[in-house]
Amino acid sequence: MRAARARSAELDLGPSGLNAVLWSDVDAEERDAIEVDGRARGADGLPLAGVPVVVKDNIATLGLPTTCGSRILEGYVSPFEATAVARLRTAGAVVVGKSNMDEFGMGSSTEHSAYGPARNPHDVRRVPGGSSGGSAAAVAAGAVRVALGSETGGSVRQPAAFCGIVGVKPTYGRVSRYGLVAFASSLDQVGVFGRTVDDAAVALGAIAGRDPHDATSADFDVPDYRAADGQGLAGLRIGLPREYFPKSLDAGMRARLDAAVDAMRGAGAEIVEVSLPHTELAIPTYYIVAPAEASSNLARFDGVRYGTRAPAGDLRELYERTRSGGFGPEVTRRILLGTYVLSAGYYDAYYRKAQEVRGLIARDFAHAFEKADLLFTPTTPTPAFALGALSDPYEMYLSDIFTVTANLAGVPAMSVPVGRVDGLPVGGQLIAPHFGEPAMFRAAYALERALGAAAHA
């Protein structure tokens, strides 16, 4: 824990530097580390004993603020802790900070944080991705080996790709959402970052499993994801969806992805072509479903129950002043969009239709997995872009074009480093059928071993 603290100070993870970590409590961390020292002596079953972790600011923690990167929850400290955090602590981890994020998870760059943008450790003029950019930056900078993030449309995998680390979105229901502040409940998930595939495997194994506090968590045994290491890829069919490799894909990225495909073929995998024909509908579908659910979920932030309360003369003025002053422009935009598509006369034309298309996207994956055991794609269409480069919201939304489909279908996916383009990290994405994480980790271990230093070169 002290080493992580020293490294954080050296890197300046605070607002004058990478701005990756928003909140921490040195005294509490010291107490927790001493307690873990006592538990770890001669004990088994502590796979993360003494490991410092950073937790995204929309995942509830005792003692540290949970603000979701928003002024509307400024200073809010949860009276309970998220199941994922509690399980990390049970496994011996020490929480050393809450990380910066796009407000309420709505963004792809961590530029929409009320506390200022986070920066990419590989180039501070560029974004670390989002919305879990602070967690990704902390891991990539070497301050911690493991961090928690959350996903609604790619918010773990995209920053993992931009920062050159491993990011995992498990199957919907694999990890409890209890204590994760809701953005879009049918899409939201807790995910993990790791410096290596093994880091991510240990972290996911620690937090996965049924939770009686979350009715959507699945009652399936948690396998040992680390057992996939060393199995190789012989007999595994890996599909390349043609829609994810358009002619417009950056030549440098294509070269790195082609090298990754060759590495998997060399490790024994059979490479096949598949199709996900409704991919082009993913972004419009996602940006109807997610804002609609956000409009409903964020109605609770009204200045009455918790968080910021604006001075007002009556109830209507309280709602208006609290929400107008507390929410930033991107959150406001999505609430307005979501309220519109749910309104009378538009529900069937937009929200119901989007849910029908969501079913088609899920069916695409089911058909693809009849031909392949796993899919491999780019994680992002480009490397990390410059701060302020995507001022058009639609351009920003398109940066998630390769990630939102897995959220809409509920299937597991992960990003692994496959190299660099112009000095910036590039990620390759592995996608598996529901609860197919063991095969996904099997391919990730093999790819990491096959690429070796080239993955980070």
User: Annotated active-site positions, please?
Assistant: 56, 131, 155
Pairing of strands 270-274, 94-99: unpaired
Q: What is the DSSP string of 260-317?
A: HHHHHHHTTPEEEEE--TTGGGHHHHHHHHHHHHHHHHGGG-SSSSSS-----SSHHH
- First and final C-alpha spacing in the chain: 29
Contact present, 238 and 376 (Cβ < 8 Å): yes
Contact present, 143 and 54 (Cβ < 8 Å): yes
Contact present, 182 and 90 (Cβ < 8 Å): no
Give kind and range of the element (H or E) at residue 426. Answer: strand 424-431
The set of residues, in sequence order, having a beta carbon less than 8 Å from that of 248 and lying 6+ positions away, is none
Contact present, 106 and 64 (Cβ < 8 Å): no
52 three-state secondary structure: strand
